[in-house]
Amino acid sequence: MEKEYLLGLDLGGTNAVFGIVDRRGSVVATTAIKTQAYQRVEEFVEASVKAITQLAEQVGGVSEIEAMGIGAPAANYYTGTMENAANIVWAHGTVVPLADMFSQQLGIPVKMTNDANTVAMGEMMYGAARGMKNFIVLTLGTGVGSGIVINGQVVYGSDGFAGELGHVPVFHGGKGRPCGCGNKGCLETYCSATGVAQTAREFLKDTDEPSSLRNLEPEKITSLDVFLAAKDGDALAKRIFDYTGEILGMMCAEFTAYCTPEAFIFFGGLANAGELLMEPIRTSYAKHVLPVLGGKAKFMTSGLDSGTAAILGAAAVSLG
Amino acid sequence: MEKEYLLGLDLGGTNAVFGIVDRRGSVVATTAIKTQAYQRVEEFVEASVKAITQLAEQVGGVSEIEAMGIGAPAANYYTGTMENAANIVWAHGTVVPLADMFSQQLGIPVKMTNDANTVAMGEMMYGAARGMKNFIVLTLGTGVGSGIVINGQVVYGSDGFAGELGHVPVFHGGKGRPCGCGNKGCLETYCSATGVAQTAREFLKDTDEPSSLRNLEPEKITSLDVFLAAKDGDALAKRIFDYTGEILGMMCAEFTAYCTPEAFIFFGGLANAGELLMEPIRTSYAKHVLPVLGGKAKFMTSGLDSGTAAILGAAAVSLG
């Protein structure tokens, strides 16, 4: 018989957050350690197992946990390895078999993928995509991540890394904003939190239109500032969301040609803008989608509580 | 126990070709009727069943056939219906339950999808993609079709119609050549046989460069003319293939961000150009692909005999 609990690990550059999740999708206990307080992966895993063991006492011990799922950067789902995770000191420039290490220490199955794919699993098991078999999650944070679900399965591709819609170009031929990936014009340079802030700086520079955003130092403007201004009725700030939504809707129309998803689910800081963003997305989508495929996709924001989404998603990956 | 034979129907605007395929992937018998010699779908099915019954006598009768697969325009895989197939008199402006009709008449399971998806199934079962679980077929014919395979399954999406990569835009924002779908700048307006002919006309008009293609009436130039000229060393004709391959490689780089396919398989008339097209595709792909995902995909031409590919693919769909 299956055990009552799953374990999720949301592995970020700063914190490694552990959570125990019950079968109904409630996070019943969490703890955290500092990701980079360890020079070697062995030390990180040792500290993690200590934290997990202590945490699991709240539910009767590790023996009550069925499986573990991990959301981590540069994670290969097939091999359970982190491959050249640039921003983590014990994973930089090397291949770390993190899933196997946890599995051996804890004696349970462990699966791992990147955080956008964990969100997709979380939405399918516990969130907005319950009952759906074909949908796309776009995570709009510092960058843009994606989790694509086809026939009820997350798409990991031939190499375990698939689902990088943040790097589909909005402009082809070397045009558009430079992206951290080395290419230009990628979706995430426009539709991430940093992309929105960049759009704000460009709009402020290109016009004389009055805006409350002019009271801020341009380099310090964040997407939250833009959201608050737009909510207060600032016309320029609203146009920034229109522009961002126009691009997102156009790209969602393009993504529809791949897999006609039942829904696009938006997750992360920018998605909190709600209708300010969703309305221009829908309008642009309707304008750009291949007519024969149009009118079918829903546009939704995440059904997961933002505080526990990463843990729920990671735990859900253990079921994948 | 499974029976020895599968039945495939390649339903085109002119001919409906039936073929019996054995378990090793050999087409053992074929016959055909005229698709549009019938005003009503009932008449078409009646004539088809008569032709099938006669054909099946060569293998011991319909009772020796396990299942039937159909490749047809505007085919919905989930429902087995043709939906508003514009160019077929008995299917125009209506929804035709063709799979069910054949299934009832023949007493065997029948599945149906569009022709690009049948090619994908054919490549996976009998062709270049044997042993692969993640790949993309691009059919370069009058238009550009696509069949996407993820985790060993053809992607039909939420609606049964997915895989329309021919309508992903090469140019955004209403730029580029007008497409039959109503949008502008779609891949198929550049990289189909008709797209290549259009490129030839544009290149001839835009330069004074000598070319054997100038001996032809511009409106009558075909992609085959361009291929023959390029094979003979005509520099302008070669540049037409470079341009076409540059666009295909750039778009394959983009498609990689979705599902990191193990291979791209090119099918149809244009793919016969071989290295004239494949070499610029590979070069362009390497230039455009997200660096972390690069270097993994193979670029191949179809492993199916062009004469029987459509029948093999249709038969393979019955296994899907």
| Residues B261-286: tens digit of each pLDDT | 999 999 999 999 999 999 999 999 99
Distance from CA of A147 to the nearest CA of B (A): 9
pLDDT of residue B212: 97
B104/A178 Cα distance (integer angstroms): 58
pLDDT of residue A173: 76
Residue B132 scores a pLDDT above 90: yes
Give the global pTM.
0.92
The ipTM, to two decimals, is: 0.88
Between chains, do A258 and B159 touch, taking CB under 8 Å as contact? no
Between chains, do A158 and B254 touch, taking CB under 8 Å as contact? no
Residues of chain B in contact with residue A165, where contact means CB-CB under 8 angstroms, are: 257-258
pLDDT of residue A12: 93
Residue B60 scores a pLDDT above 90: yes
B185/A274 Cα distance (integer angstroms): 31
Average pLDDT along chain B: 95
B271/B191 Cα distance (integer angstroms): 10
Between chains, do A157 and B261 touch, taking CB under 8 Å as contact? yes
pLDDT of residue A1: 61
Between chains, do A261 and B151 touch, taking CB under 8 Å as contact? no
- The reply to whether A257 touches chain B by the CB within 8 Å rule is yes
Residue B245 scores a pLDDT above 90: yes
Residues of chain B in contact with residue A290, where contact means CB-CB under 8 angstroms, are: 164, 167, 181, 183
B118/B111 Cα distance (integer angstroms): 10
Residue type for A155, please?
Answer: V
- Condensed to tens digits (0 to 9), the pLDDT of residues A242-278 reads 999 999 999 999 999 999 999 999 999 999 999 999 9
Residue B307 scores a pLDDT above 90: no
State mean pLDDT over A205-230: 96
Distance from CA of B156 to the nearest CA of A (A): 7
- Closest chain A residue by Cα to residue B288: A183
A269/A95 Cα distance (integer angstroms): 30
The model's confidence at residue A320, banded by pLDDT at 50, 70 and 90, is confident
Residue B1 scores a pLDDT above 70: no
**CA dihedral of A252, A146, B151, A131, whole degrees rounded to 10:** -80
Residues of chain B in contact with residue A167, where contact means CB-CB under 8 angstroms, are: 257, 290
The answer to whether B158 and A134 are in contact (CB under 8 A) is yes
Residues of chain A in contact with residue B150, where contact means CB-CB under 8 angstroms, are: 150-151, 153, 155, 157
- The reply to whether B210 touches chain A by the CB within 8 Å rule is no
Residues of chain A in contact with residue B167, where contact means CB-CB under 8 angstroms, are: 257, 290
The model's confidence at residue B65, banded by pLDDT at 50, 70 and 90, is very high
pLDDT of residue A220: 97
Helix (H, G, I), strand (E, B) or coil at A229: helix
The model's confidence at residue A107, banded by pLDDT at 50, 70 and 90, is very high
- The reply to whether B176 touches chain A by the CB within 8 Å rule is no
Q: Tell me which residue in A162, A250, A290 faces B258 most closely, judged by beta carbons.
A: A162
